[in-house]
Amino acid sequence: MKTLVVALGGNALLQRGEALTVDNQYRNIDKVAATLGQLAKKYRLALVHGNGPQVGLLALQNMAYQEVAPYPLDVLVAESQGMIGYMLAQRLAQKADSPPVTTVLTRMMVDRNDPAFESPEKFIGPVYDPAQQAQLESQYGWVMKADGRYLRRVVPSPAPIKIVDSEAIELLLQNNHIVICSGGGGVAMVEGEAGAQGVDAVIDKDLSAALLAQQIGADGLVILTDADAVYQHWGTPEQCAIRHATPDELAPFAKSDGSMGPKVAAVSDFVRRLGKPAYIGALHQIDEILAGKAGTCISM
């Protein structure tokens, strides 16, 4: 069977505005598991998920207990990988005829000189009222930025350069496991005097999924998101979905601002490097996306 790397958007785990309860997350995961369970009958699957809301919640819980110093962000990212990976694995494994499901705690090397460390932009945690900005920044030392009409904490998001655990991921895929990996973009690591060490950062999960697809030589990369495709003239009466495009044709959409730009940049890099197709679209249309009837297919 061919191997697909599938990146799950945040709506796969939590709808915007929902409380971060276990029940809410399981309800959303149940919908994901039904779709991915069918896909696993046709492909070997490596699943990458986001963790922005979850790691932000862990950070808040972490600071609430003041008897010990708060745990650093790299440890919290690892915790979120375990939590979300466990929940996804539980539901996927319950599907009839499911292949084995394994969650891999995944470490990701980044460059300690990445400019992202000086300009945090990655949203984590819940949304706040803009009137709370001064209090939150003073109380916790956070950097806050606008997210729509709300306010959220932002942290550095350096580019991933190497997946430490890709060999284990490949071995599991070769043995027909569904592999949940690179959760939350992976635990950010830099080279230190004593070897790799964790840093306070959250890596973009779409960039990590693209890097994973490259390192394991996947046959395709799929980024599932709220939007059902990449659109030309978005937000105007002339908007229309782009069904097929080359990386060069999509280059004007690969901007760092907005939610679609990083996804376009990630899939375009994968297609250029491996010459294999990538897709962007909505979870419930996955079969149509892979058939070229929905979403956006990016190929050479």
Catalytic residues: 10-11, 122, 205, 263
Q: What is the side-by-side order of every strand in the sheet holding 150-155?
A: 122-128, 150-155, 143-147
Six token digits for residue 48:
């990458």
- How far from each other are the two terminal CA atoms of the chain, in whole angstroms? 22
User: Counting every residue, how long is the chain?
Assistant: 300
In this structure, what DSSP letter does residue 108 have? Answer: E
Neighbours of 19 (CB within 10 A): 10
Neighbours of 67 (CB within 10 A): 4
Per the CB < 8 A criterion, the answer to whether 49 and 86 are in contact is no
- Residue 83 makes CB contacts below 8 A (sequence gap 6+) with 54
Per the CB < 8 A criterion, the answer to whether 73 and 155 are in contact is yes
Six token digits for residue 284:
């419930």
